[in-house]
Amino acid sequence: MESMAESNKLHVVVFPWLAFGHIIPFLELAKLIAQKGHVVSFISTPRNIIRLPKLPPNLAPLLNLVKLPLPRIDEIPENAEATMDVPYNKVQYLKKAFDGLQTELTRFLQTSTPDWIIYDFAPHWLPAIAGELGISRAFFSIFNAWSGSFFGSSITMIHGEDYRTKPEDFTIPPEWVPFPSNVAFRLYEIRRFFNSVEENISGVSDWFRFGSAVIGCDVFLIRSCREIESDWLDLMQELHQKPILPVGLLPSSVQYREDDIDDTWHTISKWLNKQDKESVIYVALGSEVTPSQVELTELALGLELSGLPFFWALRKRHGLAEFHSFELPDGFEERTNDRGVVWTSWAPQLRILAHDSVGGFVTHCGWSSVIEGLQFGRPLLMLPFLGDQGLIARVFAEKKAGIEIPRDEEDGSLRRDSVAESLRQVIVEDEGKVYRKKAKEMKAVFGDKDLHKRYIDKFAEYLQNDRHGSRVLIAKTDLPSAKRKNLVLLMHAS
């Protein structure tokens, strides 16, 4: 007879989009589910699975890494299985290949009979398949609630009913935001964004993918917490009419790997140890961002003009010829050799940010990077490039956790003088004390492991209690009773 412990054990499938900015948060969530004693099948393509960080030995029996071969299409290189492997203008072809995983994933779900599947925005076809198989469905957004709310309801996305029809319309907060907000795009940002979300070679727009993923879910999971954006989480619930369940920020730990005493960290830490406390600018623009040659040059010359010590993680993206062609300004490394490092291979970002010598973080404002910077209290020097990065920058500029490095409002061009002035303002000038102080204050939320553990505990409880089909809309318990009555709904699976 099945024991009580066995009967409470779930099988959860986790299926992220093919971008490491998505894959890693999904993996973190999978590991936390496995820590609760549940069996997890984490699904991606072979090369992406190989590139994952090593799993802790205690989780290996519970967390299965499942490889589904990515269908080949001519427009992407043979070994390209993630967005970091292709130029930005080829990502839409990767989505076309991704849609080809439908048959193999369906076969896996039919034979493994999981209780839940946690999925990303891209597989618009997945909710219907899982529903037919009786599998509970959780959509997991790695984005925060203000970014998710900015684009409106899932119904609006699917049917193309947004009243905003031109880029200029997105440079002010949307009309459905009922509270003061500065969350909006710069004109150059939204022009770039428009180019990435319109209907494309896959035949399906990103709007439709996201909307379908949300409409088809039983619960909407989000990498966020009420301590940061309670108003936005409430708004998301009203917009999507789905249970919204924050899972916390999933802050990463500074993990010590088997090669802990390796040459990489030994070399980096030796240099950092020689620098003054909170004096170093750490520069890292993520694995997806490919700055133009002009942007790269202006950023480099701005670092030089600032006169400040810096560590620049400038990792080249393998297989992308256009990235390999980028060049630092003539003589830049020689002129800055006494106070700066340009690191062109993998860098242990968490360990660098945790080092006492780091005083500021030049970031593209990917949500994971912002979380990592603020969990160590590092003020942000924000240089957004793609997607929702501009919206994230608006919020943390308003919260005074850092400043945006100014760009030209029309074309987004960057100037070395603006870079240098911004760096000095945040790192050394009296004017920057407010940013340094506020970033340290935010560490109390972003770095609070106990707080985020409580969110995971509630999430795990929800998965367990909801396995038989009842859908309870999670509401904020301290809302006024009239509003809470409107938000708390009981739904039943068909």
Return the active site residues: 22, 120
**End-to-end Cα distance, the chain:** 29
Amino acid at position 228, single letter: I
Amino acid at position 374, single letter: L
Calculate ∠ Cα 70-368-366, nearest 5°. Answer: 85
Tokens of 345: 């291979």
Amino acid at position 186, single letter: R
What does DSSP say about strands 470-472 and 490-492: parallel, antiparallel, or unpaired?
antiparallel
Which one, of 308, 474, 285, lies nearest residue 364 by Cα? Answer: 285
Which one, of 269, 421, 405, 254, lies nearest residue 341 by Cα? Answer: 269
The rounded distance, in Å, linking the Cα atoms of 99 and 210 is 14
Which one, of 154, 268, 172, 156, lies nearest residue 213 by Cα? Answer: 154
Residues 61, 166 contacting (CB under 8 angstroms): no
Tokens of 266: 């030994």
Q: How far is CA 48 from CA 39, 58, 82, 493, in A?
A: 21, 22, 7, 34
Residues 171, 185 contacting (CB under 8 angstroms): yes
Across the beta sheet with 116-119, the strand order is 63-67, 39-44, 11-15, 116-119, 136-141, 219-222, 244-246
Q: Which residue intervals of 17-58 are DSSP H helices?
A: 20-35, 46-50
The rounded distance, in Å, linking the Cα atoms of 50 and 65 is 9
Count how many Cα atoms sit within 13 Å of the Cα of residue 344 in the half-sphere of its side chain.
9
Residues 109, 135 contacting (CB under 8 angstroms): yes
Residues 379, 360 contacting (CB under 8 angstroms): yes
295-301 long-range Cβ contacts below 8 angstroms, 24+ apart = 295/413, 295/414, 296/326, 296/327, 296/328, 297/328, 297/329, 298/413, 298/414, 298/415, 298/416, 298/419, 299/362, 299/383, 299/414, 299/416, 299/419, 300/328, 300/329, 300/332, 301/329, 301/332, 301/416, 301/419
Which one, of 271, 281, 274, lies nearest residue 427 by Cα? Answer: 281
